[in-house]
Structure 1
Amino acid sequence: MMEIRHLKLIREVAETKSLTKAKDALFLSQSALSHQLKEIENQLGTQLFHRVNKQLILTNAGKMVLESAERILQDLEKTEMSIKKYVSGTSGTLRLATQCYTCYHWLPSLMTDFNKEFPNVELEIFHSNDASVEDQILDGSIDLAIIYENSDRQNVDYHELFRDEVFALVPAGHPWTKKSFVEAQDFQDQTIIIHSYPLESVSLFSQLLIPEGVSPKKVMQVQVTEAVVELVKAGMGVNVMAKWIVEPYLQDNRLALVPVTKRGIHRTWHAATLKDEKRPQYLENFVQHLRCNIGGLCCCTN
């Protein structure tokens, strides 16, 4: 079977038309090159070069081998260059997911800054809004996940980004607007609009309602933030979300935010990556861009 060293020999001899000249480029003795050439020709059962006026000229069979050699070696060289760029952290693909869809609004501005530093890094976005996001890290489906609840997986690194607080979103004039804060029992007779299941992944439930043993009248799942806002305005339910996401919708004075419990409901956001893996530089830098671009701003409507 022909090997890479054979293909390199054919290419170099075809270019220089001489074993003497080819030996310097291949760092082999002339006798070693002669032996390798005979080895290839015996293997193929045909001559690859004619001797013409002390020069080695390709036969038709040799031309066929050279054509394949150039294609294969060019592909290998491109692959080697791509791997070197990946290892050095200058190019590659970063596969990203978050625990909630509303996080993606900050992505364009973040990528503008990140792309200036790493123009050859592609970003692929995976929509995953439940506990499976850590499984995706572990099985190699994604490279980085932005999460606000983690299960301390053994092989996952959690890079702390920031903390935020969620508030109850209600229509203007709702009885809760007269309260300094609401507690678990206040949600018992309410329709609660959530972004996604399971309930254990929703901060209101995991931090307050489930521990207090409180079940709301109804739970409604709506994944689009604008639709959540309109349903709350219409008095169809209440929602709990961080302040930044709803601020643009507060301008018409049809909505209000109310703190949840005296101490508040807070979340710590992390960027999750595989533990103990030699990560490319662009992945490390992306975590820093997350801290700079969304620190204190990114949140979910859960």
Structure 2
Amino acid sequence: MSTDTTDATDTADAAAGAPAAGRPLLELNGLRKEFGGRRPTVAVDDVSLDVHEGETLALVGESGCGKTTLTRLLLGLLEPTAGSVRFDGQDLAALTASELRGVRRRMQVVLQDPYSSMNPRMRITDIVAEPLVTHDPEARGRRARARNRERVGELLAAVGLDAGIQDRYPHEFSGGQRQRVSIARALALHPRLLVLDEPTSALDVSVQATVLDLLADLQQRLGLTYVFVSHSLAVVAQVADRVAVMSRGSLVEVGDATAVLRTPRHPYTRQLLDAVPVLDPRRGRRAAARASAPTAGPADEAADGASR
């Protein structure tokens, strides 16, 4: 199955939805990933996609459609069966282990469940400093500990947490606070790209809003590029510049977020919109999805504090 945006018109719409200036930061070309032997399972099938600097591209689709496998391919955590991944013009498959290590400083991931991504026996200061210790020889050893703590304090402050929490453990925090710690850890190496794999789906709705506001603020201040994986079209409507819809390992529609959510071209996209739950039965499901982008200002940060 080839990468598809429904037809030639859809392809033009997808191009129109992308920032035109400059080379893409991330380029996926004909990606395919198979698992198994004689009768392999195709998890990703001929996916081609560009992600431009400073934008938020949302990758949406039902569970099992290949979203997670695709993100592992673009991060260089899996080798593709066919096709290529280029980050900032560099083909990941052509890099040596040392060169790939350097590239990984600039592309980081925030996972769905922050608690499972942390060692419960490590203090917050060591969790957030772990990327520094891994990638920077000067951050290792006892002499570097004071400098690391200072850097960790700066990172925690950047995500709205008190620097004084450094000596506490993950179980002492709420889900929203732990996700902020995860974001701080992802920022430690000054990345250019963040892959956000369902970063709010494990959080209460009130806390989701504050985390999304934080991500938007960080993107504006630091010039970050996001690949935002989600199955929630309400969240996608709030955060995305462009949307890529994935089904059975392939892209079926790519384009400007407003266009895709308001006037979907592919039947599968329309099915996703029709599946959005609504509280008012008199209100159409698709209408609810289209109107899901908030019009008010940022959510009150007090909601996060109340849930802690």
Higher relative contact order (CA 8 A, sep 6+): 2
- TM-score of the superposed pair, with normalisation by structure 1: 0.22
Flag the structure with larger Rg: 1
